[in-house]
Amino acid sequence: MPRQPLANLTSDTLADRAYRSIRDAITTGELRPGQKVTERGLAERLAVSPTPIREAIRRLEQDGLLERTGPRTVKVSTMGDAALQDLAEVEVALRGMVARFAARHATVEQLDHLDATLDEADDLLIVIRQRLGAGEDPERQVNALLDTMQRFNDGVDACCGNPVLVRLLEQTRVFSRGERRALFLERAAHDTNIALDRYASHRALVKALRAHDELAAESIAIEDARGGLSDVLSEAAEQHRLAMLAKKPS
């Protein structure tokens, strides 16, 4: 786990960053099921004091990702996969709530901006299909597409008009944005259609937002989030399986 430049952050922000860093290490298999870790060891690795580490550990125990083994020692839960699925369900539900609130509060200007962003994505998809058809590598365009769709998702978050809800969503993401991108690109390398099909529902979402149809917006967002998380969870599980195989003695 890389050391984080955390010296200038507040205690609450440090705890959030420590929570995310430790959870990322668990989800990627860097911290393995059953592995013991200490408050002091984690504090040294993240270059922070023990106080935010204690708060991060407490939250990870509540998530079911860590189990207490002593006053200052915990281990990675052997039920990590189940806990990740639980976290995924929470993230999916929150994404649905964001879309519901967005249908209630989005302005015409915000919705026009979302449509313009999707127009950019459509142009990129045309280029990606052309490069694939020519046998060329579309990695640069796929990365640009991911950047564009991140702007779309951020735009939907802004439409919901509820910063508390958006903050909760950020805190409960199963994967950080960087991890999600890396896992998506890895999976797209095996299945090029995933890069082309993942965003088919976004126009329908904007249509639902324009109609102020909260139920439709929520349903579309939940279905899309569940599909996206399923893809990256599958890729993470496969990478973890390969890593465990590589560690076995030959």
Rounded distance between C-alpha atoms, residue 154 and residue 91, angstroms: 15
Residue 106, SS3? coil
Distances (CA, A) of 246 to 12, 63, 119, 236, 249: 38, 29, 43, 15, 8
Tell me which H or E stretch contains 18: helix 11-27
Of all helices (H) and strands (E), which one includes residue 129? helix 108-133
pLDDT at residue 245 greater than cutoff 90: no
**Residue 137: both structure tokens together:** 């590598």
Which tokens in the block code for residue 87? Answer: 């976290």
| Phi, psi of 38, rounded to the nearest 5 degrees | -115, 155
Q: How many helices (H) and strands (E) does the chain have?
A: 11, 3
Q: Please check whether residue 9 is in contact with residue 20, taking contact to mean a CB–CB distance below 8 angstroms.
A: no
User: Do the Cβ atoms of 158 and 110 come closer than 8 Å?
Assistant: yes
Give residue-wise pLDDT tens across range 3-45.
Answer: 444 344 444 578 888 988 888 788 666 887 788 999 999 999 8
Q: Which domains does the chain have, with CATH numbers?
A: 11-78 (1.10.10.10), 81-247 (1.20.120.530)
Q: pTM to 2 decimals?
A: 0.69
pLDDT in tens, 34-83: 889 999 999 998 988 889 999 999 989 887 788 888 888 899 887 556 66
For 92-120, the pLDDT digits (tens) are 999 999 999 999 999 999 999 999 999 99
- pLDDT at res. 147: 92
